[in-house]
Structure 1
C-alpha cells in the first residue's frame, strides 16, 4: 500500500510537471487547490474524517472557482523554446522581481525569522511562497527543455537547462525546509490556506512579469481569472478554517 501511494505521488508530480510544460502557470498553479479538495473528499470517504457543511461548501466553491479560471485563463503560451526562455530571463522587469524576491527572502530568514518566526505564520510562509514562484519558473523552463529534447534538439548542450535544474533543486530545498518549519510551529489548518494564497499570488505575479501571460488578455478574462482565484481562496478557507467545527445542516435553524 505504501509503495502504491508513493507511485501515485510520483505519477501526480510528473503530471504536474507536464502541465507546466504545456499550459500557462497562471492556470496550472491555482488549480492545485483541486488536490486539497480531492484529499478532503477521499479522507471523508475512506478514513472516516469529518467533512462538515463548511467543508462541503468550500469544495463546491473550489470547483466553481476552478471552472471559472479554466474558462478565462490565458489560452496561448508565449514561450516555446529555450532561446525565447533565455530572452525572457533577461527582461529587466523579471531581473528586478528576482532580486526583490531574493533580498526579501534573506531578510525574512535572517532578520524576521529569529524574532517573529515562532509567533507570526507569515514569516516562513512568505519565504516558501516567494522562493516557490522562482521554482515554478524553473519548472516551466525545464518542461520546455524536455519538449525540445523529445523533438530531437541538442538541449543537453545548452547551459540554460542545467542552470534551471540547479536553481530548481535549490529553490525546492529552501521551500520544503521553511514550509516544514511553519508546519512544525503552526496548525496545518492555518498554514495551508495562507500558503496557498501567498504562493499562488506570487506565482501569478512572476508569470505575469516573466511570460507576459496577461498582456493579451481582454478585460473580462482578467476579471474572470481574478474572480475565479478569489472564489477558490474562499473555498480553501472554508475547507480548512472550520474543519474541526461540529456544524451540521441540522443546526442551521439555530443560526437563522
Structure 2
C-alpha cells in the first residue's frame, strides 16, 4: 500500500515537473504567472481537503457545533485565501485563458491528498486521468492567446459598456436568479446548482481580478490608474463576488466529497472564465484557427482527465476510521 502511494506521488510529481519545464521553454515571459497559478491551485486543493476534514470531525461529535467555530476549518479558509491571492497575482502576469485552466493542478492535488491522507487506494483511473489533465493543460498553455497584458482604466471602462458584455451580464444575472430561487425557495441543494452559482460569480471575479491586477501593475510602473473610479468599482465587484463564492463553495464542501466538488468546480470555473475572457477582453480576437482548435482540444483533454479521476470516486469502508471520533458509551 505504501509502495502504491509513493509510486503515485512520484508519478504526479514527474508529470508536474515535465509540465513546468515545457512552460519554461515555451512561455518564458509568462513563466511567473504559470508557476504562481499552479502553486496557488495546489494550495487551494489542500485547503478544501482540510475544510472537509473539519466538517467530518464536527459531524462525529455528540453535540455538533457550527463549522465556523473550528480552528481546523479556519486554517483551511486561510490557506484558501492565500491560494486565491496567488491566483490574483498570476492574473497580472498572464491572460485569463492561460491562468484559469491551471485549476487542473487542484484536481491532481486533491487526488494525491485523498491517497495519502484519506486512505484511498491508488486507481489506474487516477493515473490515466492525471496524464490526460496534464496533457490537456499543456496544450492550453501552449496555444493560449498572446494578448497585451497592460489594461488601462479607460480600456476597462470601454469594455464595461460594450454591448457583448452587457448582453452577457444580463443573461448571467437571469440564470443566477433562477438558480438562487431553486436554492433558497425550493431548498434544492444539488451539487450542480451550488457549483453553477460559484461559476457564474467566478466569471465576474475573473474579469474584476484581471482589471484590478493590471491597473495596480501599471500604477507601480508609474502609469497611475488608481485615480479612476472604475478601479474601485472593479475592486468592490471582486470582493463581493469572492465572498459569495466562498459561501456557496463551502456549502458544497459541507454536503459533498472534495473529490466530487473539486473536479466539477474546475470544469465549470474554467469554462466560465474562458468565456468571460473572450467576451470582455477579446482574448481570441486575433488568434489563428489552428490555435483556437488546439486550445479547445486541450480543454477537452483536461475535462476528460478530471472526469476520469472523479468517475466512481467514493470513500472506502475502512475497518478503522481515518478520523478518530472517540468511543461512544453504550454503543
Could you tell me the TM-score, scaled by structure 2's length? 0.66
The partner residue of 1:93 within 164, 189, 195 is 164
Match of 1:132 in 2: 202
The partner residue of 2:185 within 114, 122, 128 is 114
Q: Is the 8 A contact 2:107 2:262 kept in 1?
A: no
Cα deviation, 1:189-220, whole Å, max 9, x if unaligned, reads 33332222222111111111111111111111
Change in Cα spacing, 1:191 to 1:163, as seen in structure 2 (3 Å) is same
Q: How far 1:48 sits from its partner (Å)?
A: 5.5
How many residues are paired up? 245
Cα deviation, 1:118-143, whole Å, max 9, x if unaligned, reads 3x332222111111100110000111
Q: How far 1:66 sits from its partner (Å)?
A: 0.8
1:231 aligns with 2:301: yes
Question: Structure 1: which 5+ runs fail to align?
Answer: 247-256
Match of 1:160 in 2: 230
Q: Is the 8 A contact 1:77 1:213 kept in 2?
A: no
State the distance in 1 between where 2:158 and 2:199 align: 25
Please state whether the residue corresponding to 2:226 is helix, strand or coil. Answer: helix
Cα deviation, 1:138-176, whole Å, max 9, x if unaligned, reads 000111111022113333322111111111111111212
Q: Is the 8 A contact 1:89 1:95 kept in 2?
A: yes
1:198 aligns with 2:268: yes
Q: How far 1:57 sits from its partner (Å)?
A: 1.0
State which drifts further: 16-25 or 41-50: 41-50
The 5-angstrom pairing of residues 20-99 of structure 1 reads 20-41=91-112, 44=115, 49-77=120-148, 80-99=151-170
Change in Cα spacing, 1:5 to 1:115, as seen in structure 2 (3 Å) is closer
State which drifts further: 189-198 or 93-102: 189-198
Question: Structure 2: which 5+ runs fail to align?
Answer: 1-72, 317-331
Could you tell me the TM-score, scaled by structure 1's length? 0.84
Change in Cα spacing, 1:171 to 1:24, as seen in structure 2 (3 Å) is same
Q: How far 1:93 sits from its partner (Å)?
A: 0.6
Q: Is the 8 A contact 1:52 1:243 kept in 2?
A: no
- The one of the two structures with greater contact order (alpha-carbon pairs below 8 A, sep at least 6) is 1
Q: How far 1:43 sits from its partner (Å)?
A: 5.2
Match of 2:256 in 1: 186
**Please, what is the CA RMSD of the aligned residues?**
2.7
State which drifts further: 30-39 or 237-246: 237-246
State the distance in 2 between where 1:136 and 1:105 align: 17
Q: Is the 8 A contact 1:116 1:123 kept in 2?
A: no
Change in Cα spacing, 1:47 to 1:9, as seen in structure 2 (3 Å) is same
Q: Look at both structures and tell me which one has the larger radius of gyration over its CA atoms.
A: 2
Q: Is the 8 A contact 1:193 1:237 kept in 2?
A: yes
Please state whether the residue corresponding to 2:92 is helix, strand or coil. Answer: helix
Larger relative helix fraction: 1
Change in Cα spacing, 1:14 to 1:221, as seen in structure 2 (3 Å) is same
Q: How far 1:16 sits from its partner (Å)?
A: 1.6
1:141 aligns with 2:211: yes
